[in-house]
Structure 1
Amino acid sequence: MIFAVLLPLLIACLIPFLSKVKHKVHTGIFVFFVPFVIFLYFIQFIGTNFSPIKKTYYWIPSLSINLDFYLDGLSLLFVLLISGIGALVVLYSIYYLDKTERLGHFYVYLILFMAGMLGVVLSDNVFVLYTFWELTSISSFLLIGYWHFNERSRYGALKSMLITILGGLSMFGGFILLSIITDTTSIQAMIDQKEVILNSAYLPLILGFILMGAFTKSAQFPFHIWLPDAMEAPTPVSAYLHSATMVKAGLFLVARFSPIFAGYEWFFIIVTIAGIVTLCWGSYMAVRQTDLKAILAFSTISQLGMIMAMLGFGTKLAVFAAVFHILNHATFKGSLFMVAGIVDHETGTRDIRKLGGLLTFMPITATLALFGTFSMAGVPLPFLNGFYSKELFFKSSLHLNENVGAFAEWLIMIIPWLAVLGSIFTFVYSMYFLFGVFAGKHKEKELPKKPHEAPLGMLISPILLVSLVIIIGLFPNLFNGTFLAHAAEAISGVETHKHIAYWHGWEPQFYMSLIVVGLGTLLVLTRKRWTGVYSFFPGKLSLNRAYDAILEKLEVYSQKVTGFYMNGSLKLYVALILSTTVAFTFIIMGLTGGFFFEPDETLNVTTIELTVVAVMIAAAIGTIFAKHNVAAILVLGVVGYGVAILFVIYRAPDLALTQLVIETITVALFLLCFFHLPKLQVPKESKKSKLLNAVISLSFGTMMTLIGISAHSSDWFDSIAEYFIHTSHSLGGGDNVVNVILVDMRGLDTLFEITVLGIAALAIYSLIKIKRKKEAE
Structure 2
Amino acid sequence: MTSIHILLLIPILAAFLIPVIGRQFPKLHLGWAALPIPIVLFSFFVSKVSSISAGETFTGSVAWIRALDLYFSVYLDGLSLIFTLLITGIGSLVVLYSIFYLSKERESLSHFYAYLLLFMGAMLGVVLSDNLMVLYLFWELTSISSFLLIAFWFRRKKSRYGAQKSFLITVGGGISMLVGFIMLQVMTGTNSVQEIIAMRDSIQEHELFVPALVLILLGAFTKSAQFPFHIWLPDAMEAPTPVSAYLHSATMVKAGLFLVARFTPVFGGEATWFWLVSGVGIFTMFWGSFSAVRQKDLKALLAYSTISQLGLIMSLFGLGSAALQGGASAESVIYTKAIFAALFHLVNHSTFKGALFMVVGIVDHEVGTRDIRKLGGLISLMPITFTLTVISSFSMAGLPPFNGFLSKEMFFTAVLNANEMTIFSMDTWGLLFPIIAWIGSIFTFTYSMIVVFRTFLGPYRREKLEKDPHEAPVGMLISPIILCMLVILLFFVPNRLSDYLLSPAMNSILPAYQNMDGLIPKISPWHGFNLELFMTAGVVLLGAFLLRTYRYWNVVYDFFPEKRSIDRGYQWMLARGESGSKRATDRYMTGFLTNYLYYIYGFLLLVVGGTLWLTGSIVIDTSNDAPVSVYEGIIIVIMATAAISILFTKSRMTATLLNGVLGYSIAIFFVLFRAPDLALTQLVVETVTTVLFLLCFYHLPEWSKEERSLKVRFPKMVVSIGTGALTVLLALSVQGNKMFESISSYFEDSYKLAGGRNIVNSILGDFRAFDTMLEVVVLFIAGVGVYTLIKLKEPKGGDDIERE
TM-score, structure 1 as length reference: 0.87
Counterpart amino acid of residue 396 in structure 2:
M
Q: Residues 660 and 93 of structure 1: is their aligned pair in 2 closer, same or farther, counting only changes over 3 Å?
A: farther
Distance 1:53 1:695, change over 3 A: farther
CA distance in 2, matches of 1:775, 1:294: 34
Q: 1:262 corresponds to which residue?
A: 268
Q: Which deviates the most, 630-639 or 120-129?
A: 630-639
Quote the sequence identity (%): 45
**2:302 aligned with 1:296, yes or no?**
yes
Counterpart residue number, 1:459: 477
Taking the aligned partners of 2:470 and 2:206, their CA distance within structure 1 comes to 62
Contact residue 633 and residue 667 of structure 1 kept, 8 A: no
Question: 2:564 is matched with which residue?
Answer: 541
Distance 2:687 2:261 in 1: 57
Residue 337 (1) aligns with residue 357 (2): yes
Structure 1 residue 360 displacement after superposition: 1.2
Pick the aligned partner of 2:577 from 541, 554, 558.
554
Change (3 A) 1:269 1:615: farther
Separation of aligned partners in 1, 2:343 and 2:667: 67
1:62 aligns with 2:80: no
Q: Provide the residue aligned with 1:82 in structure 2.
A: 87
> What's the CA shift for 1:32?
2.0
2:112 counterpart of 1:106:
yes
Determine whether 1:118 maps to 2:124: yes
In the other structure, the counterpart of 1:690 is 713
Mapped partners of 2:780, 2:494: distance in 1: 57
Match of 2:592 in 1: 569
- 1:194 deviation in Å? 2.4
* Equivalent residue number for residue 332 of structure 2: none
User: Matches of residues 293-692 of structure 1 in structure 2 within 5 Å?
Assistant: 293-313=299-319, 314=321, 315=323, 316-381=336-401, 384-400=402-418, 405-494=423-512, 495=514, 497-537=520-560, 541-591=564-614, 593=615, 595=617, 597=619, 599=621, 602-605=624-627, 607=629, 663=685, 667=689, 674=696, 677-678=699-700, 681=703, 684-685=706-707, 686-692=709-715
Query: Given that residues 421 and 430 in structure 2 are in contact (C-alpha distance below 8 angstroms), is that contact kept between their aligned partners in structure 1?
Result: no
**2-structure distance, mates of 1:20, 1:357:** 44
Q: Displacement of 1:22 after TM fit?
A: 6.3
Change over 3 Å in CA distance of 1:85–1:563 after alignment to 2:
same
Instruction: Report the CA distance between 1:540 and its aligned residue.
Output: 5.5
Cα distance change on mapping 1:744 and 1:508 into 2, 3 Å: farther
Whether 1:286 and 2:292 are equivalent positions in the alignment is yes
SS in 2 for 1:243: coil
Q: Deviations over 1:146-184 (max 9, x none)?
A: 222222222212221222222222222222322233333
Among 17, 20, 34, the residue aligned to 1:17: 20
Structure 2's unaligned 5+ residue stretches are 324-335, 748-758
Runs of at least 5 residues in structure 1 that lack an aligned partner in the other structure:
726-734
Q: How many angstroms apart in 1 are the aligned matches of 2:308 and 2:786?
A: 44
Whether contact under 8 Å (2:241, 2:358) holds in the other structure is yes
Contact 1:601-1:713 within 8 A present in 2 as well: no
Alpha carbons of 1:184 and 1:542: their partners in 2 closer, same or farther (altered >3 Å)? same
**Which structure's CA Rg is the greater one?**
2
Greater shift in the superposed pair: 183-192 or 475-484: 183-192
1:493-531 alpha-carbon deviations (Å, 9 max, x no partner): 332543322233333333322322232233233333322
Q: Secondary structure of 2:377's partner?
A: coil
SS of the residue corresponding to residue 564 of structure 2 reads: coil
Deviations 1:114-139 (A, max 9, x none): 23222222222222222222222222
Q: What's the secondary structure of 2:71's corresponding residue?
A: strand
SS of 1:68 mapped into structure 2: strand
Deviates more, 1:46-55 or 1:533-542: 533-542
Q: CA deviation at 1:767?
A: 10
Distance 1:249 1:776, change over 3 A: closer
CA-based RMSD of the aligned residues comes to 3.9
SS at match of 1:681: coil
- Alignment deviations for residues 20-60 of structure 1 (CA, whole Å, 9 cap, x no partner): 35641012222222222222222222122243333322333
Q: Aligned pair in 2 of structure 1 residues 575, 525: CA closer, same or farther (>3 Å)?
A: same
Structure-2 change in CA distance of 1:132 and 1:34 (3 Å) = same
Structure 1 residues 612 and 73: alpha-carbon distance in aligned structure 2, compared to 1, 3 A threshold: farther
**What is the alpha-carbon distance in structure 2 between the residues aligned to residue 214 and residue 746 of structure 1?**
46
- Other-structure match for 1:731: none
Per the TM alignment, residue 199 of structure 1 is displaced from its structure 2 partner at its CA by: 1.6
Does the aligned pair in 2 maintain the 1:268–1:404 contact within 8 Å? no
For residues 293 and 177 of structure 1, what CA distance do their matches in structure 2 show? 39
* Map of 1:730 onto structure 2: none
With over 3 angstroms needed to count, the CA separation of the structure-2 counterparts of 1:195 and 1:661, relative to structure 1, is farther
Q: Residue 573 of structure 1: SS of its match in structure 2?
A: helix
1:391 partner letter: E
How far apart in 2 are the matches of 1:649 and 1:37?
73
- Contact kept, 8 Å, 2:420 with 2:430, in 1: the verdict is no
Instruction: Provide the rounded CA distance (Å) in 1 between the counterparts of 2:703 and 2:252.
Output: 57
Indicate if the aligned counterparts of 2:418 and 2:433 stay in contact, CA closer than 8 A. no
Amino acid at match of 1:51: E
Equivalences for 1:44-193 in 2 at 5 Å? 44-47=47-50, 48-99=53-104, 100-193=106-199
Structure 1 residues 765-774 or 62-71, which shifts more?
765-774
Q: CA deviation at 1:344?
A: 0.4
SS at match of 1:67: strand
Q: Is the 8 A contact 1:329 1:386 kept in 2?
A: yes
8 Å contact kept, 1:380–1:513 = no
Give the match's secondary structure for 2:227: coil
Offset at residue 776 of structure 1 (A): 14
Aligned 8 A contact 2:664 2:683 in 1: no
Distance 1:762 1:469, change over 3 A: farther
CA contact (8 A) 1:332 1:465 kept: yes
Distance 2:672 2:791 in 1: 45
Alignment check: 8 A CA contact 1:627 1:682 kept:
no
Q: Tell me whether 1:240 sits opposite 2:257 in the alignment.
A: no
Task: State whether residues 120 and 132 of structure 1, in contact with CA within 8 Å, keep that contact through their aligned partners in structure 2.
Answer: yes
Deviation for aligned residue 1:618: 6.2
- Structure 1 residues 180 and 342, CA gap change in structure 2 (3 angstroms): same
Instruction: Assess, with a 3 A threshold, how the Cα gap between structure 1 residues 763 and 639 changes in structure 2: closer, same or farther.
Output: closer
- Structure 2: distance between partners of 1:673 and 1:300: 66
Q: TM-score, normalization: structure 2?
A: 0.85
Deviation of 1:304 after TM superposition, in Å, equals: 0.6
SS in 1 for 2:358: helix
Partners of 2:640 and 2:405 lie apart in 1 by: 83
Classify 1:746/1:445 alpha carbon distance in 2 versus 1 (closer, same or farther; 3 Å): farther
Cα distance per residue 1:716-745 (max 9 Å; x no partner): 6x78979x99xxxxxxxxx98877886889
Corresponding letter in the other structure for 1:111:
L
| Match of residue 732 from structure 1 | none
Per the alignment, residue 329 of structure 2 pairs with: none
Q: Is the 8 A contact 2:656 2:694 kept in 1?
A: no
Does the 8 Å CA contact 1:293/1:337 hold for their aligned counterparts?
yes
Contact 1:485 1:498 in 2 (8 A): no
Letter of the structure 1 residue corresponding to residue 27 of structure 2: K
